[in-house]
């Protein structure tokens, strides 16, 4: 199985059964007052991300969530609510809690409305970290829905990414996610931060005592660095694709804050769901999609590449090859086990806004 990690570890990894990882996460969340159903959903989501090779959004995130609960930045004993606002806009209110259940509810309701009406737009507000968006987009694509998700806001707290041409962190990582059915070779899932790496990779590197990839982060003076501590000491992540990534991040910030604001916890999100069958029946669409994907996969690989990969393919392949084992950096797993055993340990430093 190819290593999907972006980290250069100084130590080794340990293979942890997914069931064990879920149990440790539940042990961390339960004493914090998180309802059992929510804790189980969060644990399942984080484990799935780790099994899919998305280490930045995997089980390491429970360290951040626990810190945020203890710092009072997210609320434990509450659940998200879907409603239609007075102006007729579909909205999910996360009630200040962890955002994974809120995002799941938004995708469920958005796909339901799209099936009824052809298209739907849903706002997600007042929610904490919303997990790996590609997970939700994959499920929606399996239902025949094209989904487009982006968001931003709360940049006064999430100063992570420097604008193109600047050296100071000004914006959050403001991700975009698009999912579309792809026949037997899909779904096809685009899920990326508008920065060169997601903020979660920096937290994962810090937790594991690892180095970051080259060319992704600068220190507070604008010099390239691979040390995650330089980021926490006033550095910044660079935008993906230079001015193009910066522009996408800015559009997401305007959507999240100017259009959907104010922002209360983390980002506000806008989810657009489209019933693809309204534009072309499933059969012909799948046939056309499979032809496109086959043609691209048949492109001769460049030096250093085994093959051309389709967006979302690496995560699916990694998940299938994992056989329910998560290969976790030793330092990270030690922290998770210790936190599960000593859930009252203060985590004020880990609760800082710089780690999400």
128-157 pLDDT tens trace:
999 999 999 999 999 999 999 999 998 888
Which pLDDT score, from 0 to 100, does residue 346 have? 43
In this prediction, residue 4 has a pLDDT band, given cuts at 50, 70 and 90, of: low
pLDDT at 347 over 70: no
Q: 248: how many CB neighbours lie within 10 A of its CB?
A: 21
Assess contact for 94 and 106: CB atoms under 8 A.
Answer: no
- Residues with Cβ within 8 Å of 318's Cβ and at least 6 positions away in sequence, in order, are 1, 2, 4, 51, 52, 53
Counting Cα atoms < 13 Å in the Cβ hemisphere of 88 gives: 1
Which pLDDT score, from 0 to 100, does residue 356 have? 35
What H or E segment, with its residue span, contains residue 242? Answer: none
Per DSSP, the three-state class of 283 is helix
Which pLDDT score, from 0 to 100, does residue 58 have? 96
Average pLDDT value for the chain: 92
Domains of the chain: 13-355 (3.30.1370.60)
What average pLDDT score do residues 343-349 get? 47
In this prediction, residue 345 has a pLDDT band, given cuts at 50, 70 and 90, of: very low
Q: Which of 135-144, 198-207, 250-259 has the lowest average pLDDT?
A: 198-207
In this prediction, residue 349 has a pLDDT band, given cuts at 50, 70 and 90, of: very low
User: pLDDT (tens digit, 9 = 90+) per residue, 100-114?
Assistant: 999 999 999 999 999
């Amino acid at each position: 199985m190819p290593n999907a990690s972006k980290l250069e570890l100084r130590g080794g990894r340990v293979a942890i059964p997914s069931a064990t990882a879920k149990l440790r996460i539940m042990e961390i969340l339960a004493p914090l007052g998180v309802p059992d159903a929510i804790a189980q959903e969060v644990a399942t989501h984080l484990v799935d991300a780790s099994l899919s090779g998305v280490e930045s959004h995997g089980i390491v995130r429970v360290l951040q969530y626990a810190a945020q609960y203890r710092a009072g930045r997210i609320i434990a004993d509450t659940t998200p609510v879907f409603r239609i606002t007075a102006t007729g806009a579909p909205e999910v209110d996360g009630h200040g809690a962890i955002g994974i259940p809120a995002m799941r509810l938004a995708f469920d309701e958005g796909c339901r409305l799209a099936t009824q009406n052809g298209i739907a737009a849903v706002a997600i507000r007042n929610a904490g970290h919303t997990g790996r968006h590609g997970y939700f987009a994959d499920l929606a694509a399996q239902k025949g829905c094209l989904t487009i998700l982006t968001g931003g806001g709360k940049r006064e707290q999430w100063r992570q990414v420097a604008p193109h041409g600047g050296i100071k962190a000004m914006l959050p990582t403001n991700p975009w996610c698009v999912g579309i059915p792809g026949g037997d070779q899909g779904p096809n899932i685009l899920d990326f931060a508008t920065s060169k790496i997601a903020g979660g990779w920096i937290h994962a590197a810090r937790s594991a005592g690892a180095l970051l990839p080259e060319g992704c982060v600068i220190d507070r003076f604008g010099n390239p660095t691979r040390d995650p501590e330089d980021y926490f000491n006033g550095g910044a992540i660079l935008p993906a694709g230079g001015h193009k990534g910066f522009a996408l991040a800015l559009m997401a910030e305007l959507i999240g804050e100017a259009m959907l604001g104010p922002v209360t916890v983390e980002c506000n999100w806008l989810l657009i769901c489209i019933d693809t069958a309204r534009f072309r029946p499933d059969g012909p669409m799948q046939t056309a999609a499979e032809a496109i994907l086959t043609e691209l996969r048949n492109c001769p690989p460049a030096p250093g590449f085994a093959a051309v990969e389709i967006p979302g393919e690496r995560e699916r392949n990694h998940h299938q090859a994992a056989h329910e084992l998560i290969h976790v950096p030793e330092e990270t797993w030690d922290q998770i086990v210790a936190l599960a055993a000593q859930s009252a340990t203060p985590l004020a430093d880990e609760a800082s806004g710089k780690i999400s």
